[in-house]
Structure 1
Amino acid sequence: MPLPQPNLYPPFNIVRLSHVEYRVTDLAASRAFYVDTLGLQVTDEDDTIIYLRAMEERGHHCIALLKADEASVGGLGFKVFDEDELDKAAAWFAGQDLPVAWVERPFMGRAFRTRDPFGIPLEFYCRMDRLPPIHQKYKLYNGVKPLRIDHFNMFASDVDASVAFYNAIGFRVTEYTEDSESGKVWAAWMHRKGGVHDVAFTNGTGPRLHHTAFWVPTPLNIIDLLDLMSTTGYLANIERGPGRHGISNAFFLYVRDPDGHRIEIYCSDYQTVDPDLEPIRWDLKDPQRQTLWGAPAPRSWFEEGSVFEGAALVASELKAQPIIAP
């Protein structure tokens, strides 16, 4: 199925991805993982929620860890350009017969919640409390030294349909994997902020969150994290990598938090700001698409993901599959 033409004049202006709300079953265990091990900074916390930011971020948080009875994802956040664009976004979603609910959020201005047509809970806003810069407070750099949130990757039961919807609101495809036998897109990477992706979609039972990714300074930070995790009780939480993706050219590592939420540690993709940039096509059977070098991904990487709160799961009809590690 051919990719849609990029929508360079979308109905509202999304700046970038912003934040994710993880429902977690043990706040202390999650804090030990995200703060003491990965190195994210606590910006506020109580006995029900912890807010975190990375070292280069000025917004109040990029992750909210909310205590819950069961692990899930409460929603994905996106920042729009200004108040007018926020109103345009709300009107557009309402015009698509999708739910729009204005909500009060700590540390944020006006915001509304909605869902995409596939059930993913989304949150849009334009103002979040700004915090003093900490990117030169080097004594605070710990763990993998996370600099900023980079992207979300979701399992989608129909990747072509997901690409069409997110293209309509201004996300542009940078790379994609096509199943040559069916002609369908098996996975796609789409951006707003000028990197390879803010969102990506991978074929599978969905909607589920495959991972949230954080940008780090160098591959050596990833090696340091592996040394740390392997000697502090987190060896079993290392799922895949290190290695380098063919798609995005990123140096990567995938780890799992205490509830199984997958986090990618990521660096060295490339600039995509030109509006006439042509997407790069990969064949599903090309083993270097997922791993330019390194071990193939394990089966868990293709099959396991975090459920979205309130979203019904739908199995994909596309059964094509890339190479899976033994």
Structure 2
Amino acid sequence: MPVPTHVFDPPFNILRSSHVVLDVVDLKASRDFYENAVGLHVEDADSETVYLRAVEEHQHHSLVLRKAATAACHRLGFRVASENDLDKAAAWFAANGIVYSFVERPFQGRTMHVTDPFGFQIELYATMEKRPHLLRRFDLYKGCHPQRLDHFNVFAAEVQDTVDFYARLGFRLTEYGEEDGDNGRIAAAWMHRKGNVHDFAITNGRGPRLHHFAYWVPTAMNILHLCDVMASSGYLKNLERGPGRHGISNAFFLYVRDPDGHRLELYTSDYQTMDTDHEPLRWSLKDPRRQTLWGAPAPRSWFEQGSQFNGQAVREPAFVADVTIAD
């Protein structure tokens, strides 16, 4: 299937992935996990919602936990460059028959909610309350010292169409996995807005579902330290995969599950991709190094489980790729 053409003048300017909003059943348990084990910092909290951020972030929050009857992914948040970009987004969605609405959200300026044609529930905003970053407040560091939210990875039932849609919005392809042969189909794509490997990764599978969201940490030692922290604080079974290294993105990684089963990746060691002539890196689906350059094999849960989006029916993938899995 075709690699999308990069669009350098998109209809509106998305800057980067910004925050994720998760529905959780036990708010206290989720707060304890993210605050005390992982090491995110609570900015505001009440009996229904907790707002957290990482040490490098000036923005008020990059993770929102909402108390709910059922665990789910509520929204994926992206920041746009200006208020004018929100108006441009509204015009573009209207012209393309995509329903959107403007909503009020605490600590954020004017915020748009939109569900894309594939069922991914997106939140766009231009301004958010600022906080002094905590980068030099080493006395407050906990867990793996997460620095900033980096990306989202989703299961998409229609990979090619989803990739093409986000390419129209200016997301640029950095790496992709493709079947071999003249008519090989793209089974996974890594796309960015901010100049590293990805803000949004799109993977073939039952979707729409969130596979994981990820925070960047300073070094591989921070990830190893988190393994020690989780193993000694009651979260040993929450360690799902890793540590290890992906060939794709060059990421040194660890995947963990929160008390509701939402998947979080902690990672480091990717690279810059901001040059306009950066060529996407193709990986054959027969090359197991794309998934695991080294490390223990991924469990079945990593391939099959994900967080559903509120109210969105999950569809079977349009095709089943013939993939070589690292063992």
Q: Distance in 1 between matches of 2:323 and 2:231?
A: 29
How big is the shift at 1:205? Answer: 0.4
Give 3-state SS (helix, strand or coil) of 1:288's partner.
helix
Q: Distance in 1 between matches of 2:275 and 2:310?
A: 36
1:199-278 pair list within 5 angstroms: 199-278=200-279
Between the two proteins, the alignment pairs up a number of residues equal to 326
How big is the shift at 1:322? Answer: 2.9
Q: Distance in 2 between matches of 1:277 and 1:40?
A: 33
1:9-20 pair list within 5 angstroms: 9-20=9-20
Is contact 1:257-1:263 (8 Å) kept? Answer: yes
Structure 2 alignment gaps of length 5 or more:
none
Q: Percent identity, please.
A: 58
Q: Distance in 1 between matches of 2:76 and 2:32?
A: 23
User: 1:58-105 deviations in whole A, cap 9, x for unaligned?
Assistant: 000001000000000111111000111111011111211111111000
Is contact 2:288-2:325 (8 Å) kept? Answer: no
Distance 1:286 1:324, change over 3 A: closer
Is contact 1:244-1:293 (8 Å) kept? Answer: yes
Letter of the structure 1 residue corresponding to residue 156 of structure 2: A
1:104-119 pair list within 5 angstroms: 104-119=104-119
Is contact 1:298-1:325 (8 Å) kept? Answer: no
User: 1:300-325 deviations in whole A, cap 9, x for unaligned?
Assistant: 11100000012111101321243447
Q: What is aligned with 1:309?
A: 310
How big is the shift at 1:133? Answer: 2.0
Give 3-state SS (helix, strand or coil) of 2:86's partner.
helix
Q: Distance in 2 between matches of 1:199 and 1:112?
A: 18
Give 3-state SS (helix, strand or coil) of 1:132's partner.
coil
Is contact 2:75-2:121 (8 Å) kept? Answer: yes
Q: Distance in 1 between matches of 2:204 and 2:129?
A: 36
Q: What is aligned with 1:152?
A: 152
Is contact 2:158-2:204 (8 Å) kept? Answer: yes
Q: What is aligned with 1:279?
A: 280
1:1-326 pair list within 5 angstroms: 1-180=1-180, 183-324=184-325
Is contact 1:298-1:324 (8 Å) kept? Answer: no
Structure 1 alignment gaps of length 5 or more:
none
Letter of the structure 1 residue corresponding to residue 80 of structure 2: V
Distance 1:33 1:146, change over 3 A: same
Letter of the structure 2 residue corresponding to residue 148 of structure 1: R
User: 1:148-204 deviations in whole A, cap 9, x for unaligned?
Assistant: 000000001111111100000000000000022551101000000001000001110
The TM-score normalised by the length of structure 2 is 0.98
Q: Distance in 1 between matches of 2:173 and 2:272?
A: 13
